[in-house]
Structure 1
Amino acid sequence: MKLRLLCVPLVTLLCCTYAHSEESLLKEQPLKVIYPKPEREHESDNWYPLVLLKFALEHSGRAHTLESSVKMVQSRSLKELEQGDLVNIAWSMTSIERERTFNPVRIPIYKGLYGLRLLLTTQDKLSKFQTIKDLQSLNKIDFIQGHDWPDTDIISDNNLTVSTSTTYDALFNMLIKGRGDAFPRSILEVDWELQQLGQQTNIQVVPNIALSYPAAVYYFVNSKRPDIHQAIQLGLEKMHENGEFDRLFTHYFSQAIANAKLHEKTIIHLKNNHMSKLTPLENKQLWFNPNE
């Protein structure tokens, strides 16, 4: 009887110890983070959202691996993200629908500058923009956007005309062939894109106007991976606290912001009905202010 009484606590202790060890082991297992390989060949290891993601994971303190999936367009990457097998994280412009489907890290990785847009057009159409000064006068412009981009709905919601295509390269072809008047691009994208186009086209930036609307590009995580979401959230918060986020952002984008010459342009504001009420617009640290 005494032996039985001694064994019960011992077995219980062993079971608890094993369970605790197993739990600790699981917590220590590296996070396997898989992002979609970009469609465009130029986007490599020095690509800003990927570099920022690496820094955020490192700042989180969690052991992890980071690898790419197969190459895929954005529409497929979001479908794969919902499944969570080939991809468990992606970054994209946010919308209410996307925030319902995925788990967003509500820290805008571009500080809202994907909502500040210059207009690309062809030289023969520059005259169409000379007298435009407000939203109403934009009615005569046919805009070009990706068919599944949140920006497409934003432009349409403001009673403007928009034509779409499914691939990035096709959008520039539409512009060159006159199947649209203007292709709005973030001020962070324009310099690189014009450089890639080179002298082979007559695409130019409209000099006198720009568009602005509330927008955020987030990291979106598969809804079944709160561990990855928590690590990225923690890492980005630490980067904001220690100034690393702003240092990285400035390194990548200060020249593009200066080149946009916003002080020379009339900025036309559009409404965005697709922003969640949970968007942290009140946290000024997270957003770029062109007046500062």
Structure 2
Amino acid sequence: MVEQYFAPETREELFEYLGRMTPDSRFISGGTDLILKLNAGKTCPDTLLYLGALPEGREISEQDGEIHIGAMADMTAIARNPLVARTCTALADAAGHVGSVQIRNKATVGGNVANASPAGDLTVPLWLMDARVHIAGPRGIRTATMEETVVGIEKTSLNYDEAILSFSYPVPSASTYTAYRKLGSRSEVTISRVGLAVLVRMREGVVANTRIILGAVATTPVRAFSAERCLEGSRLEPEAVEEAASALSEYILEINKRPNRFYKAHASKGVLLDVLDTIRQRSGITLP
């Protein structure tokens, strides 16, 4: 039975209430996952700390060359935000395809990352952007990378008295393009079986460098360096894209030993082709 409920409206109140949390306490913002667990009796916290009352929690802003996203920003807000669309279309892509409309109106980016599901949609593009995670605890705020924060299946490095406050990532150059796609069992309201985020930085019509992050194929998102090398120096010609897709497939077979690895390895090829086609359109690349 929940014995205490906190709803801090300032950072000072947040720090105070974090100091009262126990290993049996839980945080709630959108509640799209926690409410289900509460109703099913899978968790019985002594304290609930609601994060949605913090005024800064839903803000999305640009400050000193970085995009800052409050952890309580919901999927709909992220998908429609012009700052996100301009600096990381992959993040807008991911947010716009989480669950149903009702879920997107409630689910938050902080909850999506804190759940640490291998199928978490927003974890992948945030990983792509080298996002920093700003974490509040009783003694103040610390900053960690995504890799330091999400460490396993439903496992983070957060202590029981810590909560994600916001995320930030550097504003990329104007010649940088991103996209995200996921593959599920159906086209809408589906859990990701393969999630793929790609960043391509162009220079004079040629790929200068790229990042490819895979989700839902390992315990945490992973970077496909071998596939990236196939694209660098190209104009995203079909030959380079096909080579990258084959390298991506081989990489999945190397790191994933589960029975579904053959499906994911094959399916990832089509997802990469789709993502790179989107980036080609966004960048205006024309092939002879």
> Shared fold (TM-score greater than 0.5)?
no
Q: TM-score, normalised by structure 1?
A: 0.24
Which structure is higher in RCO with an 8 Å CA cutoff and minimum separation 6?
1
**TM-score scaled by structure 2?**
0.24
Instruction: Flag the structure with larger Rg.
Output: 1
Higher percent of residues as helix: 1
